[in-house]
């Protein structure tokens, strides 16, 4: 296979690189989002036709699936997490595809890893130690994940704790009440303080879009988060009844595009929750390609919060190189 096809214009170093300036944020500008109108039926129609108009097959499909792996935030957020489970997850992050499949793809000399490893704050030190010597960043959820309803001083302390433990990225949860009551100043102030608490760590703002009721609210919350300095906007915690969907993602990407036109800053995007298959990965990559283009198909601007899809992607890649489907148990996550 042509190696350039696999890398999809990324270059040979598959470690996460941030080739653009961080989002500095702006003052709160209500005029840029408060009166926005969203046509739900047109949004749903656009999202539904995106994945039917573009077909990616054979070599190119394999290339896109490898691309998806490099954008995955490999995650464990369970109440029974242990240091051992985190170490196993990190081992999978460093070698997400079986060696024989990598060799068959012609990528044995490439450093293919997942985009990051994401854990709870108390597990950060174990992940940092396990990933020492690699370029894989450790991300930590914080701010009372997943509800985000603990007192603000406590949420800020949790961010600082995770950063002190070595987290390079912080996935914060916004207060949904501020969105539902349209208290944009409170939302802006909250995220601004969280951004400051992150220091040099990148901030990913989880909007919990399944709780926001309308696509208009999704757009507004996206804009406020970016104006407050978020480096990424993220759909969901994965714990809501409705998590990442293509229509919601489309609206968030339009907000990203509008913010970039206003400020010149590139902000990343992370769909999370509900995505389990290689086909799901392809659908979101197609969305990124059609709406924002190749720069947003790189792990410094695009992440997939869906660890369970890695096993299916690896299984599809094995089918590509052997012509046979393996049992799912041959591709355990960790």
192 CB-contact burial (10 Å; exposed 0-12 / middle 13-18 / buried 19+): middle
Phi, psi values for residue 123, rounded to 5°: -100, -5
Cα atoms found within 13 Å of the Cα of residue 294, Cβ hemisphere only = 5
171 labelled catalytic: yes
**First CA to last CA distance, the chain:** 28
Active site residue 200: no
At residue 243, the 3 state secondary structure works out as coil
How buried is 229 (Cβ within 10 angstroms: 0-12 exposed, 13-18 middle, 19+ buried)?
A: buried
Q: Of 270, 280, 300, 312, which one is the catalytic site residue? A: 270
Kind and range of the H or E element at 232? strand 232-234
Residue in this structure with the two tokens 């007192």, named with its chain if needed = 151
CA distance 74 to 165: 19
Give the count of alpha carbons within 13 A of 42, CB side only: 4
Asked whether 123 and 81 are in contact (CB, 8 A), the reply is yes
Token reading at 31: 């005029």
Based on the residue annotation, tell me whether 94 is a catalytic residue of this protein. no
Catalytic residue among 204, 211, 234, 312: 234
Catalytic residue among 171, 231, 280, 300: 171
Active-site annotation, residues: 171, 234, 270
């Amino acid at each position: 296979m042509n190696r350039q096809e696999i890398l999809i214009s990324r270059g040979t170093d598959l470690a996460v690189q941030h080739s653009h300036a961080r989002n500095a944020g702006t003052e709160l500008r209500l005029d840029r989002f408060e009166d926005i109108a969203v046509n739900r039926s047109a949004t749903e129609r656009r999202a539904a036709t995106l994945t039917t108009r573009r077909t990616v097959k054979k070599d190119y499909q394999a290339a896109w699936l490898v691309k998806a792996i490099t954008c995955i935030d490999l995650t464990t957020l369970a109440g029974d997490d242990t240091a051992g489970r985190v170490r196993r997850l990190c081992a999978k992050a460093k070698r997400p595809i079986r060696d024989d499949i990598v060799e068959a793809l012609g990528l044995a000399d490439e450093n293919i890893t997942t985009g990051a490893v994401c854990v709870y704050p108390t597990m950060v030190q174990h992940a940092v130690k396990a990933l020492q010597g690699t370029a894989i960043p450790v991300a930590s959820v914080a701010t009372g994940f997943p509800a985000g309803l603990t007192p603000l001083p406590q949420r800020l302390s949790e961010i600082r704790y995770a950063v002190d433990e070595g987290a390079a990225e912080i996935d914060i949860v916004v207060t949904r009440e501020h969105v539902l009551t349209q208290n944009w100043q409170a939302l802006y102030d909250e995220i601004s303080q969280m951004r400051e608490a992150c220091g040099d760590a990148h901030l990913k703002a989880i909007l919990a879009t399944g709780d926001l009721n309308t696509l208009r609210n999704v757009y507004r919350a996206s804009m406020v988060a970016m104006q407050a300095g978020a480096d990424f906007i993220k759909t969901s915690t994965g714990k809501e009844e409705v998590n990442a969907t293509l229509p919601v993602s489309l609206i968030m990407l339009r907000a990203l595009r509008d913010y970039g036109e206003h400020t010149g800053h590139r902000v990343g995007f992370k769909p999370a929750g509900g995505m389990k298959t290689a086909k799901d990965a392809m659908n979101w990559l197609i969305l990124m390609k059609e709406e924002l283009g190749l720069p947003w198909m790189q792990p410094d601007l695009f992440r997939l919060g869906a660890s369970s899809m890695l096993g299916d992607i690896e299984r599809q890649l094995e089918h590509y190189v052997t012509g046979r489907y393996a049992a799912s148990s041959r591709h355990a996550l960790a």
